[in-house]
Amino acid sequence: MILMSAAAQAEEPHPENFLSEEPEVAYWLHCAGCHGLEGRGIPPEVPSLINEPGRIESMPGGREYLLRVPGVSQAGLDDENLAAVMNYMMYEFNSATLAADFAAFSAAEVAQHRAQVLQDPLRRRSEIVAGVQ
């Protein structure tokens, strides 16, 4: 058994702090396994994260939808880290479609919506898109 001093333990990095500072790494660890490092996914089973989330985000109900899809809402990240990963994904993969007035996701917004996991994300997505047309 290795004993560490209190000072050494306090300096030891905590994963949640690391992820808050490095959302790209959190994306790699929690999202890239399915969506790929470049966000391409394998449509239709695994949707692409390129450009489409940027379009959906500005639609009525779109922000909530993005936070309620099962892969997001059930991610093994706390609310602050999930917000950071969502913002990374929006800026990294959706800059071409992101609204000029895009407001970054907050931990409070994530907490509010992720608790309501979508049972049928494809149906809800169709409803959101149809509501705009």
Distance between CA 58 and CA 80 in Å, rounded?
A: 21
* Domain of residue 54, CATH code: 1.10.760.10
| Tens-place pLDDT, residues 10-41 | 444 444 444 455 899 999 999 999 999 999 99
**By the 8 A CB rule, do 40 and 98 touch?**
no
- Contacts made by residues 92-95, CB under 8 angstroms, sequence distance 24+: 92/24, 92/27, 92/39, 93/38, 93/39, 93/49, 93/50, 93/51, 93/53, 93/54, 94/49, 94/50, 94/51, 94/52, 94/53, 94/54, 94/57, 95/54
Number of domains in the chain: 1
Residue 54 has pLDDT above 70, yes or no: yes
11 belongs to a structural domain: no
14 belongs to a structural domain: no
The fraction of the chain above a pLDDT of 70, given in percent, is 83
Residue 3 has pLDDT above 90, yes or no: no
The domain of 102 spans: 23-129
